[in-house]
Structure 1
């Protein structure tokens, strides 16, 4: 009886991996994409701040 259970469960590991792998990959790549979006937003905010600062300093000197 134990051998029947072992034979029946032989391919379950591969099946579970094939089901979980795309889900895990999507979550990982989604987290990476979110981090890249926030990094780009931070860069744009910093560039805007530095541009406004440079403009304010240039007009203050004249």
Structure 2
């Protein structure tokens, strides 16, 4: 049995079934980033730190 959850990308504000937790600037604030925004913020970014994967469907 799974439960459905919802969260939006902190960059584009679109809802996504999978988001990546990351630090993307010098504020060291953790944000959730969708697949569409991920490559823009992760490549050639000295502030980028991966912090895990969030999934909408989570086993109970």
TM-score class normalised by the smaller sequence = under 0.3
Which structure is higher in helix share? 1
**What's the TM-score once normalised by structure 1's chain length?**
0.18
**What's the TM-score once normalised by structure 2's chain length?**
0.19
Which structure is higher in strand share? 2
Higher Cα radius of gyration: 1
